Structure 1
């Protein structure tokens, strides 16, 4: 696989061991995601720079998409996205044919899809919830994910070979309804990076940087709420959705205009299915707010 040339800022992040931690965090934060540990970012950068594909694995709302966007920003490369579902087909990946007019004559043109665009332009391809796709769909891009970096477009018969700079980032939520286990042939094409929830001081910083909430005391209480929710999920008392960092950030935003408990109700509680879980989260909110 072709290695990706690293931008100067990323080279400094990897090579300059004397660089201050605060400077590194500022660089990371500029991409919108502050990972739970710097090793996660370093490992992802090293894998992508060597031409490897990476698979971000973790609970919903842990920041996998933001992680991918940050990597795209650090490498200074745009990112085409594929959102997987049971309806994903070859056209969703490669593109489709459509009628067009040239000098008043009707012609058939091919509109390239995200895989084709990313390969030809040398950008990143982000495949979200890759285990939501039907097992028979993804083998189409096996050649894209291995050393060949090549695919035959089934609609044009064109052989597409990725240009320098092309890289693949995928994300997976395991154990959800509608997901299927990745087959070994597909999984073996990725370097797997486990993305846990952001907690503690890093979550405080994320709330301060990405939401309208400025009240330090409220921010600290939301961080405590997040920790309690994560603990409850690990104990099997709540579904993973309850501890979504994305939902927590929504609650923080709403709490700048609404009472915190009502913000939590709209952003977290009402998304849960079981009354028992709703009551549990409401009780946590009552103790903190």
Structure 2
């Protein structure tokens, strides 16, 4: 399905051919086939696709930078699916250290053996390692990536032999702005990535996303829901409300509740409004929603068929 989307976005034909050649050149071992993602969400944006695909084909690692709800993790998953690579996810947090990334000693059959971590597994088997929220990582954890990400393309495991990266291995890092616990990335680390700034989703692409998830959603209904989200986005940009309301997952969750027959206003409150706990901000969000969505609107007004219809799946 990812290739259908690439054709729809009119990505350059030579890039598509190069992806197919890459897949033929680097087949995946049978035991890791299950790690190749099958995305249920598709990222829309021809320019971003072309930039990322070109970088990966050139052997580069990618840093996806952008605000909340710009589709960074969805896009990382889509890229792994398009290149048919097994994916290893690394979510950085305060307790993530070098051993968690590379691996550590463990006991098996009364022997001490090395249990590889996600970075080593991706390195050995030609996987795509997705480094989520990399600007939340401790310096100790990031230091082990320097030799992995630069021209050396190797990992020195203390007490064991050096691991050279499989030629298909790539690293895709993501980072948000302004979250609690984030920090500026080390200049040496940033220099090992090519950086793609992820734009906010457009109304056209948001409508496509909503109708991809919910095929029975009427076009007019999708337009109204997209307009609500973009109105909230403008208020967030103008510092009238916090970024808590900028929750694309929340909007999709709300539409799922509507599809099951829940009142439209209640569904949007559960998916979006209640994500903030400040009463004044909740009132601003509700006013924005009610400015677009009438209290009289019913779920059946938004969908072509009876609510509870089966969600479309991507394969």
Same fold (TM over 0.5): yes
Cross-structure match for 1:15: 13
Give runs of aligned pairs for residues 165-184 of structure 1, distance below 5 A. Answer: 165-184=168-187
| Distance in structure 1 (CA, Å) of the matches to 2:198 and 2:167 | 27
Cross-structure match for 1:197: 200
Query: Does 2:46 correspond to 1:51?
Result: no
| Distance in structure 2 (CA, Å) of the matches to 1:211 and 1:97 | 47
What secondary structure, in the 3-state scheme, does the structure 2 residue paired with 1:255 have?
Answer: helix
Query: Does 2:85 correspond to 1:85?
Result: no
Shift of 1:211: 3.9
Which of 230, 242, 246 matches 1:227? 230
Shift of 1:218: 2.5
Q: Deviations over 1:56-108 (max 9, x none)?
A: 1111222111100111111111111100011111222112222222xxxx112
Cross-structure match for 1:242: 245
| Range 256-265 or range 75-84, more displaced | 256-265
Give runs of aligned pairs for residues 3-42 of structure 1, distance below 5 A. Answer: 13-15=11-13, 32-35=41-44, 37-42=45-50
Cross-structure match for 2:18: none
Q: Deviations over 1:204-236 (max 9, x none)?
A: 111111247623333221101111011111111
Cross-structure match for 2:296: none
Cross-structure match for 1:3: none
TM-score, length of structure 1 as denominator length: 0.85
Which of 114, 117, 124 matches 1:120? 124
Compared with structure 1, are the counterparts of its residues 150 and 31 closer, same or farther at alpha carbon in structure 2 (3 Å cutoff)? farther
| Range 116-125 or range 193-202, more displaced | 193-202
What secondary structure, in the 3-state scheme, does the structure 2 residue paired with 1:109 have?
Answer: strand
Give runs of aligned pairs for residues 260-279 of structure 1, distance below 5 A. Answer: 260-279=264-283
Cross-structure match for 2:27: none
Cross-structure match for 1:23: none
Shift of 1:113: 1.0
The unaligned stretches of length 5 or more in structure 1 are 1-6, 18-28
The unaligned stretches of length 5 or more in structure 2 are 16-37, 294-315
Q: Deviations over 1:223-262 (max 9, x none)?
A: 0111101111111112223112222111111121211211
| Distance in structure 1 (CA, Å) of the matches to 2:223 and 2:287 | 18
| Distance in structure 2 (CA, Å) of the matches to 1:30 and 1:120 | 24
TM-score, length of structure 2 as denominator length: 0.78
CA contact (8 A) 1:99 1:107 kept: yes
Cross-structure match for 2:115: 111
How big is the alpha-carbon RMSD for the aligned residues of Structure 1 and Structure 2? Answer: 2.3
| Distance in structure 1 (CA, Å) of the matches to 2:216 and 2:142 | 41
| Distance in structure 2 (CA, Å) of the matches to 1:97 and 1:213 | 52
Shift of 1:31: 7.4
What secondary structure, in the 3-state scheme, does the structure 1 residue paired with 2:139 have?
Answer: coil
What secondary structure, in the 3-state scheme, does the structure 1 residue paired with 2:47 have?
Answer: helix
Aligned residues: 265
